[in-house]
Amino acid sequence: MKNVTAFVFGFNNYATEIIDNIIEEYQQVYLFSLDKSDTQYKENTISYFNLDDEWEEIEKLMNTDNTIAFCTLEDDATNIFLTISLRASFENLVIVSLAKDKESANKLEIAGANKVIPIVKTTADIISNMMNRPIATKVLHNILYEESDLKIAQISVQNAERFHGEFPADIDWSRYHGIIVLSIIHEDMSKEFIYSSQTKHKALVDGDILVVTGYETDILAFEKTIGRRHYVDWGNWSW
Amino acid sequence: MNRIKRFIVDSAYTVQTAKGYQKRKRFFYNLLENSESRYKKYFDIVMITLIFVSIAILIREVKHELPFHLIFFNSYVISIIFFIEYLLRFWVYGSVTQAIIKRYEYDTYLGRKFKLHKAFRNIIRFKLVYIFSVRAIIDLLAVLPFFHELRLLRVFILFRIFKLFRYTRSFQTMASVLATKKFEFFTLAMFASVVVFVSSILIYVMEANNTSSPINSLYEAFYWSIVTISTVGYGDMVPLSDEGRFVAMLVIIAGISVLAFTTSLFVSAFTEKLDEIREVKTIEGISKINKFYIICGYQEVAREVALALLKKHKHLIILDEDEKRVQTAHEDGFIALNYNPGSVESYEKLHVDINTQVETILCLMNDDVENVYTALTVRSINKEIPMLSLLINESNRKKLQYAGINEIIYPQELVGMIVKELVGRPVAFEAIHELRSDNSHINIHEIVISKRVLENYGLVSELENQRYRLVLLGIYKNRYKNFYFNPLDDTLLEEGDYVLMIGNRVFLQEFERHLNKKNET
């Protein structure tokens, strides 16, 4: 089930980049700003919000099970306050917050954010990875961010019986349309690398999710063979 | 031009362009004079050892009969080594051939007749500069104990101690620091001399006629003055008359002043030069690092990058104009210089070969203007060096590209892409994120196919990665600059290729060892 509604709090470059990247994934995307003058700047697309309000307006727009909120306010303290305000009002809302540093990231986690993106750390990690493992970084970046023909997908296993009880680590995955299986997520959401010791002793069952990488056409063919594209149920998803 | 002149000029050109000769001369120059040369350190250690051996023999010889071989070693072997060193230094000091060529080309350019004698005059002049330099004189005197039979000359062995100045950098640093206070020290010396001179005469006049006074001659008066003004005061000579004691009081007061003034001069000289000395030491250290990154600016992202690179045992240098940030970098354990990254002078002062020593220059300041300026500065001195920059405002992307930045990192764009993956394919995102993270036990390694590896592994199937529970993601073919995903078993491996392996960190290390282990057998 795809997500329905996204709230983006804060009107800045981060917010606009986020909106540009998620606009196709959501049926409705709402942008909120703490600054009233922003609403005049883009009247129809930006709404004003106040940290003291009771979120009645927002509640009306919200489908709690399928709504995600992005807290991107520039001031970390205000962003933390926003996150805790949302969590206090909406227990099941998925909240993704941006933090400048690790200290704020920890506070945001305590405040109830499901996922925190520490901007400085993330940027620095990308740069240091580029320096340490330039080829691997470039390849993974291309796979993940779709700049190449290579893709990564998560496929839910639907007909596990076709593997005849074979263990995942023993299966020659290359015979399945030239894809590479990186890891398996079991029904209990535990993750295993394809060659971990557990995958040598635990056969695939329906409902397991395979994280695969390969060319788009191969992935589609693989998907038809063993299952279907898996979409995350945000209500159950834990980070 | 007569035949002799022609012959000399031709010979000068021949020698000047002879690779073997120039190579040898450069080698000896680096060995003797270039403090950045890796061999100089070992040469200096050998010479210092010889000096100490020589001094030890001299001391032993005072009260003991020494075996002949030790005397021979001290008088001849060490002396000859020192003399060869002296000659080599004389040789590498300036270039005779270059002086001749320079003069010849100068005269030719002006349409004059070549004046060989002027060339020789220049040569003699700069060689004399060497001969009469303090260091060269000490070097020569240190050779004199060679004439061991002349017992008087044996005292010159002490000059070998002075040679230590040449090999011990701290002495040179101290001398250069004190040289900055030349005027103050001169003034102090003049003051002390006047006090000693006046007090010597006064004490002589006051005490010499007193038969019970120990000060009976001008020499003794001078000795007493020196002992008193230096505040040593042995007490072997004391003034007995009231007048003499009054003079003593004045000299003691003057002595305390001289001592205090001298101490303060030393302290201020060192305090003023301390940063400079540290900087020189730092730059010397930098020039010896084979490969390092230059990080321009030390703000939030730069600090995180630096810490991450440090974890991977990478060398890096930080340049920042802001003194506080440089201080922070020092506290974090980095080599940091208070240099402006946007100034050509900063890179010149580093004394490094950017092409061979610098891996990448990272412009990580929180200001696009500064990053563009730094990029242009670097590009003005080097067109090839890879550069990465932070982009703060999307509208400046093209400016950074025009400035010659190879890789641009725009944090907002990164966040956008991450969010897209997070909401679209969270499981896949986490999987890739884990591969990139250093904290995860599953990792991705890029393993280079070296010539040694290639000798035993020519095909992908021969790598046996599955035995090590590793996934071969693909091969990066350096020759084609292309990545080949999930290669077939019969794909040929070539030197310079990179294989991207995914697996447990321990198995990855084991696999790399396996590649080399098989080579050894």
Same domain, A107 and A185: no
Q: Of A20, A139, A215, which has the smallest distance from its Cβ to B500's Cβ? A: A139
Answer yes or no: do A100 and A153 share one domain: no
CA dihedral (B455, B461, B465, B471) in degrees, to 10, reads 130
Which residues 311-370 of B have a C-beta within 8 angstroms of A? Answer: 312, 314, 359-360, 362, 364
**Long-range contacts made by residues A190-199, C-beta under 8 angstroms, separation at least 24?**
A191/B430, A191/B431, A192/A168, A193/B442, A193/B502, A193/B503, A193/B504, A194/A168, A194/A169, A194/B471, A195/A169, A195/B466, A195/B469, A195/B470, A195/B471, A195/B503, A195/B504, A196/A169, A196/B469, A196/B504, A199/A167, A199/A168, A199/A169
Residue type, B158: L
- Residue of A195, A223, A229, A234 to mutate when probing chain B, most B C-beta within 10 A: A195
Please name the residues in contact with B397: beta carbons below 8 A apart, sequence gap of 6 or more: B391, B408, B410
How many structural domains compose chain A?
2
Place of tokens 């190579």: B23
Q: A138 to chain B: which residues are within 8 Å by CB? A: 483
Burial of B132 (0-12, 13-18, 19+ CB in 10 A): exposed
Residue A104 lies in a domain: yes
Helix (H) or strand (E) holding B394: none
Give B521's strand partners: none
Q: Distance between CA atoms of B118 and B105, rounded to whole angstroms?
A: 13
- Domain span at A18: 5-124
Q: Is B147 on the interface with A (CB under 8 A)?
A: no
Predicted-complex ipTM score: 0.80
Residue B381 burial (C-beta neighbours within 10 Å; 0-12, 13-18, 19+):
exposed
Same domain, residue pair A116 and A160: no
* Over residues A176-188, mean pLDDT: 78
Q: Two tokens at B428? A: 């896949």
Do both A116 and A144 map to the same domain?
Answer: no
* CA dist., res. B59 & res. B65, Å (int): 11
- Asked if the Cβ–Cβ distance from A18 to B364 is below 8 Å, we say no
Best-predicted range by mean pLDDT (A66-70, B233-237, B395-399): B395-399
**In a shared domain, residues A151 and A86:** no
| CATH code, residues B182-275 | 1.10.287.70
Alpha-carbon distances of A166 from A187, A201, A222, rounded to whole Å: 18, 9, 17
In the sheet where B316-319 sits, what is the strand order? Answer: B335-337, B316-319, B292-296, B358-363, B387-390, B407-409
* A183/B308 CB distance under 8 A: no
Angle, helices B159-167 vs B134-143, to 10°: value is 130
Statement to judge: residues A120 and A56 lie in one domain? yes
The answer to whether B476 contacts A139, with C-beta atoms less than 8 Å apart, is yes
Rounded CA separation B120/B106 (Å): 14
The letter for the amino acid at B452 is R
Q: Which residue has the higher pLDDT, B510 or A175?
A: B510
Are B366 and B303 in contact by the 8 Å Cβ rule? The answer is no
Does residue A147 sit in the same domain as residue A107?
no
Using CB atoms, pick whichever of A18, A144, A174 lies closest to residue B486.
A174
Q: B321-353: per-residue pLDDT in tens?
A: 999 999 999 999 999 999 999 999 999 888 888
Tokens representing B15 are 């020698």
Which CATH number goes with the domain that contains A68? Answer: 3.40.50.720
pLDDT confidence of residue A234: 40
Burial of B309 by CB count in 10 Å (0-12 exposed, 13-18 middle, 19+ buried)? buried
Residue A132 resides in a domain: no
- Cβ contacts below 8 Å, chain A against chain B, sum to 178
pLDDT of B1 reads 61
User: Is A131 inside a domain boundary?
Assistant: no
Average pLDDT value for residue range B447-453: 86
Same domain, A155 and A207: yes
Residue A199: predicted pLDDT: 61
Q: Using the predicted structure, report yes or no on whether residue B305 has a pLDDT greater than 90.
A: yes
What CATH number is associated with residue A156? Answer: 3.30.70.1450
pLDDT > 70 fraction of chain B, expressed in percent and rounded = 95
pLDDT in tens, B94-132: 889 989 998 888 888 888 888 888 889 999 998 999 999
Crossing angle of the two packed helices B411-424 and A119-132, in degrees rounded to 10: 100
CA torsion A103→A104→A107→A109, rounded to 10°? -110
Q: H helices within B288-410, ranges in order?
A: 300-311, 323-331, 344-349, 354-357, 368-381, 397-402
Reported confidence tier of residue A200, pLDDT bands at 50, 70, 90: low
Residue B470's identity, in one-letter code, is: L
CB A97 within 8 A of CB A117: yes
A189 pLDDT higher than 70: no
Residues A104 and A197 in one domain: no
Cα distance between residue B475 and residue B404, in whole Å: 29
When the candidates are 3.40.50.720, 2.40.50.100, 1.10.10.60, 3.90.960.10, the CATH number that belongs to B290-413 is 3.40.50.720
Per CATH, the number for B427-520 is 3.30.70.1450
Q: Is the dihedral of CA B329, B330, B335, B339 positive or negative?
A: positive
The stretch B371-383 carries a mean pLDDT of 93
Most A CBs within 10 Å, among B294, B415, B449, B483, to test the A interface: B415
Q: Which residue has the higher pLDDT, B197 or A224?
A: B197
Q: Retrieve residue B448's tokens.
A: 């280079």
CB-CB neighbors (< 8 A) of B368 in chain A: none
pTM over 0.90: no
